[in-house]
Structure 1
Amino acid sequence: MTSASEALAAAALGALAGTVGLNGAYEGVPVKASLPYAAIELGPESDWGWKGGEGREVRLAVTIRDAGERPGRLRRLMAAAEVALLGLDGAVEGWRIVNVVTSRTRTAQKRAGEWTGMIEVRVRMEREN
Structure 2
Amino acid sequence: MSAAVALRAAVLAQLRAIAGVQRVADGAGAKAAMPHVTLRDIAATDWGTKDRAGREARVGVTVRDDHQLPARIEGIAGAVEAALLALPRDLPGWRIVTVVPVRCAVLGDGTARWAAMVDVRVRMLEQED
Fold shared per TM-score above 0.5: yes
RMSD: 1.3
Which residue does 1:82 correspond to in 2? 81
Output the CA distance in 2 between the equivalents of 1:118 and 1:50: 31
**TM value normalised by structure 2:** 0.93
Output the CA distance in 2 between the equivalents of 1:40 and 1:110: 21
Please give the secondary structure, in 2, of the residue aligned with 1:44.
Answer: strand
Output the CA distance in 1 between the equivalents of 2:101 and 2:52: 25
Output the CA distance in 2 between the equivalents of 1:33 and 1:69: 18
Output the CA distance in 1 between the equivalents of 2:31 and 2:9: 20
Please give the secondary structure, in 2, of the residue aligned with 1:29.
Answer: coil
Residue ranges of structure 2 left out of the alignment (5+ in a row) = none
Query: Is the CA contact (8 Å cut-off) linking 2:24 and 2:36 kept in structure 1?
Result: yes
Which residue does 1:24 correspond to in 2? 23
Query: Is the CA contact (8 Å cut-off) linking 1:63 and 1:117 kept in structure 2?
Result: yes
Q: Does 1:122 align with 2:121?
A: yes
- Farther off after superposition, 103-112 or 25-34: 25-34
**Following TM superposition, where does structure 1 have runs of at least 4 consecutive aligned residues deviating by more than 3 angstroms?**
none
Q: Alpha-carbon deviation of 1:69?
A: 1.2
Query: Is the CA contact (8 Å cut-off) linking 2:15 and 2:24 kept in structure 1?
Result: yes
Note the 1:65-104 alignment, pairs <5 A.
65-104=64-103
**TM value normalised by structure 1:** 0.93
